[in-house]
């Protein structure tokens, strides 16, 4: 993992985290919006401008890959690099949680 | 025939949020946006007064693949109007929202948009400013004798001030976002 990826994605935004989390399954942008709404009981509503921008940025950085297009909706899936980044983020969140419980 | 009206209002490059609020205010008064002709010239059509949120995105990649770009906004309930000068115009009625909604949900993506605006719209201005406006202002200042020179001098001063105003606004907006 190069320094650019580390600098931009570790730690990552909540939007970035949910995108990678959801894209462990192939999904399109709006699918992610719906999934996150469901996961967070409607607390987190991702917006289309943020979603479109994040997906194209992550695709360019090869964290996710376009696999096909269905009815004008681009379907993406996480790449190996994306999984690495997600694993780092997961570690960070676990550490945060543990520290919060301890202190 | 639908009643129409034209309004002239200028917004500088970094003022896309104010532009959205202006369009929202017109819709509240019963005038919905139809198109933008030239920079600053808006065409409206009479409609039922309603609270409708207007927002602008700036995404050149999106405009290149307009179908999939617009689709995700449509899926989220935003109507795509048109793109003008790099900006894409969207609107969504307040009654279709459960909470205050925006096309961006975090500051990171708002900053990304500003960076895209900066790259495509501000950099050409900076170049023009550095290569033409700035040297010409000083050149005309040093040769200010005849009335023609005065005319050029004052024109360049006006441009100089206007450009500085745009840069400062852009900078302040960017700083505000990156600090929050």
Q: Do you know the residue count of chain B?
A: 180
Half-sphere exposure (Cβ direction) of B42: Cα atoms closer than 13 Å: 20
Is B12 within the bounds of a domain? yes
Confidence at residue A92, expressed as pLDDT on a 0 to 100 scale: 94
Question: Are A18 and A44 spatial neighbours (Cβ–Cβ below 8 Å)?
Answer: yes
Per the structure, the complete domain to which residue B139 belongs is given by 107-179
Is B19 within the bounds of a domain? yes
Question: Are B87 and B121 spatial neighbours (Cβ–Cβ below 8 Å)?
Answer: no
CB contact under 8 A, A33 and B76: yes
Task: Let me know whether B59 and B116 are in one domain.
Answer: no
Longest CA span, chain A? 50
Task: Let me know whether B18 and B69 are in one domain.
Answer: yes
Chain A residues near residue B55 by CB distance under 8 angstroms: 49
Is B69 within the bounds of a domain? yes
Confidence of residue A47 (pLDDT cuts 50, 70, 90): very high
Domain count, chain A: 1
Answer whether B61 touches A (CB < 8 Å).
Answer: yes
Residue-averaged pLDDT of chain A:
95
Is B169 within the bounds of a domain? yes
Q: Looking up tokens 């900053």, which residue turns up? A: B111
Name the residue facing A48 among B76, B99, B108 (closest C-beta).
B76
CATH number of A10's domain: 1.10.10.10
Question: Are B4 and B34 spatial neighbours (Cβ–Cβ below 8 Å)?
Answer: yes
Q: Read off φ and ψ for residue B82, nearest 5 degrees.
A: -175, 170
**In whole angstroms, how far apart are CA B58 and each of A53, A55, B63, B84, B112?**
10, 15, 9, 10, 10
Answer whether B30 touches A (CB < 8 Å).
Answer: no
How open is the CA angle B51-B53-B57, to the nearest 5 degrees? Answer: 165
- The SS3 assignment for B165 reads helix
pLDDT per residue of chain B (180 residues) written in tens, 0 to 9: 689 999 999 888 788 899 999 999 999 999 999 999 888 899 999 999 999 999 999 999 999 999 999 999 999 999 999 999 889 999 999 999 988 899 999 989 999 999 898 888 888 888 888 888 888 888 877 776 666 677 777 888 888 888 888 888 888 888 888 886
What average pLDDT score do residues A73-100 get?
96
Task: Let me know whether B87 and B119 are in one domain.
Answer: no
CB contact under 8 A, B75 and A48: yes
Half-sphere exposure (Cβ direction) of A85: Cα atoms closer than 13 Å: 31
Task: Let me know whether B126 and B85 are in one domain.
Answer: no
Question: Are B59 and B115 spatial neighbours (Cβ–Cβ below 8 Å)?
Answer: no
B79-84 vs B31-36, strand pairing mode: unpaired
Per the structure, the complete domain to which residue A24 belongs is given by 3-102
Domain count, chain B: 2
- Token output for A21: 């989390």
Task: Let me know whether B86 and B116 are in one domain.
Answer: no
Q: Which of B96, B122, B139 is the last residue of a domain?
A: B96
Task: Let me know whether B78 and B133 are in one domain.
Answer: no
pTM of the predicted model as reported, rounded to 2 decimal places: 0.87
Q: Among B33, B27, B80, which Cα is nearest to B57's?
A: B80
Is B133 within the bounds of a domain? yes
ipTM: 0.91
Q: Which of B96, B120, B150 is the last residue of a domain?
A: B96
């Amino acid at each position: 993992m190069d320094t650019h990826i580390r600098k931009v994605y570790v730690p990552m935004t909540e939007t970035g985290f949910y995108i990678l989390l959801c894209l462990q399954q192939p999904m399109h942008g709006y699918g992610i919006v719906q999934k996150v709404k469901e996961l967070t009981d409607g607390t987190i509503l991702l917006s289309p401008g943020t979603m479109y921008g994040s997906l194209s940025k992550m695709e360019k950085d090869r964290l996710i890959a376009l696999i096909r297009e269905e009815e004008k909706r681009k379907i993406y899936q996480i790449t190996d690099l994306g999984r690495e980044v997600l694993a780092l983020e997961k570690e960070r969140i676990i550490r945060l949680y543990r520290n919060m419980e301890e202190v | 025939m639908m009643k129409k009206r034209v309004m002239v209002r200028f917004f500088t490059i970094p003022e896309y949020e104010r532009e959205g609020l202006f369009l929202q205010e017109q819709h509240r008064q019963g005038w919905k946006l139809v198109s933008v002709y030239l920079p600053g010239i808006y065409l409206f059509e009479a409609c039922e007064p309603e609270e409708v949120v207007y927002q602008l995105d700036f995404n050149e990649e999106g405009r290149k693949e307009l179908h999939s770009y617009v689709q995700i906004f449509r899926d989220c309930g935003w109507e795509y109007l048109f793109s003008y000068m790099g900006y894409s115009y969207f609107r969504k009625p307040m009654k279709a929202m459960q909470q205050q909604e925006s096309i961006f949900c975090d500051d990171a993506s708002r900053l990304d948009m500003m960076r895209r605006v900066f790259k495509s719209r501000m950099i050409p201005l900076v170049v023009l400013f550095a290569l033409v406006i700035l040297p010409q202002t000083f050149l005309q200042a040093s040769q200010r004798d005849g009335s023609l020179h005065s005319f050029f001098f004052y024109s360049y001063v006006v441009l100089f001030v206007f450009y500085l105003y745009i840069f400062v606004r852009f900078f302040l907006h960017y700083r505000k976002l990156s600090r929050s």
